[in-house]
C-alpha cells in the first residue's frame, strides 16, 4: 500500500511540475502567410472610416515632444506621455489641454524620465513608472496619491484588473520579451507569467511593445509570433510566416558587435511584431519593415500596406501609433511639417459637416504639436 502511495505522490508532483513549467500556451497557433513586401491597394479604408482629427492646444507650457511614448483613450479624454516625459490630458474633440503634469515625484531629480504610464479606469488613476524604479499614482487633477519602489527597471507597463503588468526588464543589450511580471496592487505580490528566456538583441521595434485595447497583446523582436495575455496566462495565438529575409542568429550578434553594419542591413531583413492593437474584427500591428498589417480575425486574411492615402486630408498617413483603450479606433500621428508642406488637394466632400468645418478651422504651422488622426471601424 505504501508503495502505491509513493507512486501516486510522485505522479502528482511531476504533474504539478509540468503545469508550472507550461508558461506559454502555444498549441496550434494560427499560421498566417505574409507576402514579400507591402502593397498600395488601400484595403484599410475598406475597413475603417475617418473619425476625428485632434490638434493639441499649444502654448508656451503645452509643447508636446516631437514623438509620443503612450496615448491612452478614456471616455472623451486622451492621456498622453510625450518624449520629454510630460503627461497631458487632452479633450478628444477640442484638443484643449485639461492637465499638464511635468514635475513627477517628490524627491530631487524624480522628474528626469518617465519610462511608461498606464491608467486604472475604475479609480481614474494615472499610474506611471519612472527611472528611479518607482510606481507613482496620480488622480486626474495631478495630485500624487502614493508611490511604490521596485527592484528592476522595465520598459513598459499596462494596467489590468487590479494588476500592473511590467513588461521587459532590460539588462544592457539583453531583454526578456517572453514574460510579463504581474504586480497585484492589493496584496503587493509580484509573479512572473510567461517564459524567463533571455534575448541578446540590441534593437527594439516601432511603437509600444505591449498595448491594451480589447485585450492585451505583444510580440517580440526575434520572432513572428503574436502573444495574448489572458488572465495570468500567455497564449501564442498567431504565427506569421513572412516570405522575405528573416533575422538570423548571425545578424542578431551583428546588432551588438557592429551596429553601423546592422543598420545598413536591417532594411533588407524583417523581424519582430509590435504595436498590436485590436478592434472588433481586426488586429493592426507593425514589424521592423515600413508600413503596417491588418489581420482579419474572422477569415485570418492579412493585408500589409505602406500607408493610408487619405484624400480627405491630402496626406499619406505613414505613422500608425497604437493607443490604449477599447474604443474600436486606430490612430495615426502626423508631423505638423507634413501637414503644412506635404498636404495637397484635400477633398473633404464625403466628411460629415461638423468634422469638415473643424478641420478647415485648424491653424497649423511648423511649430504646432503633433496631429492625431483617428479612424473607427465601419
Please check the confidence at residue 102 and state whether its pLDDT lies above 70: yes
CATH class of 29-377: mainly beta
Mean pLDDT of 300-314: 94
Per-residue pLDDT band for 376 (boundaries 50, 70, 90) equals very high
pLDDT at 37: 86
Q: ∠ CA 193-198-200 to the nearest 5 degrees?
A: 145
Q: ∠ CA 94-377-361 to the nearest 5 degrees?
A: 25
The radius of gyration of the chain from alpha carbons, rounded to an integer in Å, stands at 22
pLDDT at 161: 94
Mean pLDDT of 152-158: 93
Mean pLDDT of 167-185: 88
Decide: 299 and 250 in contact? Cβ < 8 Å: no
Please check the confidence at residue 53 and state whether its pLDDT lies above 90: yes
* Mode of pairing for the β-strands spanning 234-242 and 274-278: unpaired
Sign of CA dihedral 209, 57, 108, 112: positive
Among candidate residues 120, 245, 229, 222, the one with its CA nearest the CA of residue 182: 229
**Residue 216: strand, helix, or coil:** strand
Pick from 12-26, 55-69, 84-98, 339-353: least confident? 12-26
- Give the model confidence (pLDDT) of 107-127 as tens digits: 655 557 899 999 999 999 999
CA separation for the pair 28, 9 (Å, rounded)? 31
CA separation for the pair 48, 39 (Å, rounded)? 17
Q: What is the DSSP letter of 40?
A: -
pLDDT at 66: 67
CA dihedral 145, 151, 156, 162 (to 10 degrees): -50
Other CB atoms within 10 A of residue 34 CB: 20
pLDDT at 47: 93
Percent of the chain predicted with pLDDT > 90: 61
- Stated as kind and residue range, the H or E segment containing 339 is helix 336-341
- Give the model confidence (pLDDT) of 217-276 as tens digits: 999 888 899 999 998 999 999 999 988 878 888 888 888 888 888 888 877 888 889 999
Per-residue pLDDT band for 309 (boundaries 50, 70, 90) equals very high
Per-residue pLDDT band for 7 (boundaries 50, 70, 90) equals very low
Decide: 157 and 117 in contact? Cβ < 8 Å: yes
CA separation for the pair 328, 114 (Å, rounded)? 27
Mean pLDDT of 338-364: 93
- Contacting residues for 210 by C-beta, under 8 A, at least 6 apart: 156, 158, 165, 167, 168, 180, 216, 217, 218, 229
pLDDT at 254: 86
pLDDT at 110: 57
Please check the confidence at residue 171 and state whether its pLDDT lies above 90: no
Sign of CA dihedral 296, 302, 307, 310: negative
Task: Report domain extents, the chain.
Answer: 29-377
Per-residue pLDDT band for 65 (boundaries 50, 70, 90) equals low
User: Sheet of 329-334: strands edge to edge?
Assistant: 48-55, 371-377, 329-334, 320-321
Q: Cell numbers at residue 162, please?
A: 487590479
pLDDT at 111: 57
Pick from 33-42, 73-82, 300-309: least confident? 33-42
On whether the pTM is more than 0.95, the answer is: no
Decide: 373 and 50 in contact? Cβ < 8 Å: yes
- Give the distance from CA 66 to its chain's centroid: 17
- Contacting residues for 193 by C-beta, under 8 A, at least 6 apart: 23, 179, 180, 181, 182, 229, 232, 233, 234
Question: How many angstroms separate the Cα of 153 from the Cα of each of 149, 166, 190, 271?
Answer: 10, 9, 14, 25
Q: Cell numbers at residue 252, please?
A: 542578431
CA separation for the pair 354, 357 (Å, rounded)? 5
pLDDT at 26: 65
Please check the confidence at residue 101 and state whether its pLDDT lies above 70: yes
Pick from 35-44, 103-112, 313-322, 341-350: least confident? 103-112
On the 0-12 / 13-18 / 19+ scale of CB atoms within 10 A, 279 is: buried
- Give the model confidence (pLDDT) of 15-24 as tens digits: 333 333 346 7
pLDDT at 132: 87
Pick from 14-18, 25-29, 178-182, 303-307: least confident? 14-18
Beta strands, E only, 112-220: 114-120, 125-130, 134-139, 144-149, 154-160, 163-169, 174-175, 179-184, 190-194, 199-200, 210-212, 216-218
Average pLDDT, the chain: 87
Amino acid at each position: 500500500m505504501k508503495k502505491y502511495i509513493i507512486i501516486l505522490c510522485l505522479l502528482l508532483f511531476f504533474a504539478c511540475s509540468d503545469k508550472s513549467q507550461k508558461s506559454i500556451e502555444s498549441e496550434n497557433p494560427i499560421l498566417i502567410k505574409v507576402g514579400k513586401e507591402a502593397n498600395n491597394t488601400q484595403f484599410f479604408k475598406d475597413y475603417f472610416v475617418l473619425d476625428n482629427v485632434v490638434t493639441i492646444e499649444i502654448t508656451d507650457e503645452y509643447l508636446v515632444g516631437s514623438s509620443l511614448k503612450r496615448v491612452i483613450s478614456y471616455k472623451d479624454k486622451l492621456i498622453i506621455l510625450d518624449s520629454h516625459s510630460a503627461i497631458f490630458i487632452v479633450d478628444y474633440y477640442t484638443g484643449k489641454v485639461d492637465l499638464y503634469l511635468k514635475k513627477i515625484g517628490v524627491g530631487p531629480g524624480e522628474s528626469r524620465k518617465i519610462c511608461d504610464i498606464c491608467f486604472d479606469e475604475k479609480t481614474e488613476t494615472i499610474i506611471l513608472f519612472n527611472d528611479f524604479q518607482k510606481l507613482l499614482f496620480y488622480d486626474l487633477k495631478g495630485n500624487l496619491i502614493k508611490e511604490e519602489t521596485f527592484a528592476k527597471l522595465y520598459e513598459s507597463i499596462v494596467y489590468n484588473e487590479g494588476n500592473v503588468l511590467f513588461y521587459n526588464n532590460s539588462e544592457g543589450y539583453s531583454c526578456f520579451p517572453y514574460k510579463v511580471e504581474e504586480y497585484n496592487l492589493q496584496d503587493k505580490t509580484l509573479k512572473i507569467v510567461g517564459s524567463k528566456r533571455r534575448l541578446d538583441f540590441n534593437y527594439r521595434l516601432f511603437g509600444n511593445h505591449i498595448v491594451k485595447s480589447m485585450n492585451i497583446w505583444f510580440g517580440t523582436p526575434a520572432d513572428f509570433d503574436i502573444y495574448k495575455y489572458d488572465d495570468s496566462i500567455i497564449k501564442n495565438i498567431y504565427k506569421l510566416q513572412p516570405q522575405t529575409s528573416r533575422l538570423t542568429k548571425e545578424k542578431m550578434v551583428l546588432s551588438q558587435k557592429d551596429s553601423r553594419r546592422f543598420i545598413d542591413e536591417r532594411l533588407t531583413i524583417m523581424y519582430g511584431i509590435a504595436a498590436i492593437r485590436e478592434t472588433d474584427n481586426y488586429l493592426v500591428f507593425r514589424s521592423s519593415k515600413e508600413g503596417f498589417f491588418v489581420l482579419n480575425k474572422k477569415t485570418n486574411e492579412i493585408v500589409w500596406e505602406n500607408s493610408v492615402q487619405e484624400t480627405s486630408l491630402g496626406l499619406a498617413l505613414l505613422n500608425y501609433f497604437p493607443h490604449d483603450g477599447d474604443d474600436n479606433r486606430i490612430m495615426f500621428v502626423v508631423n505638423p511639417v507634413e501637414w503644412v508642406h506635404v498636404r495637397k488637394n484635400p477633398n473633404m466632400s464625403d466628411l460629415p459637416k461638423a468634422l469638415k468645418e473643424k478641420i478647415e478651422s485648424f491653424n497649423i504651422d511648423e511649430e504646432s504639436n503633433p496631429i492625431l488622426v483617428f479612424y473607427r471601424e465601419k
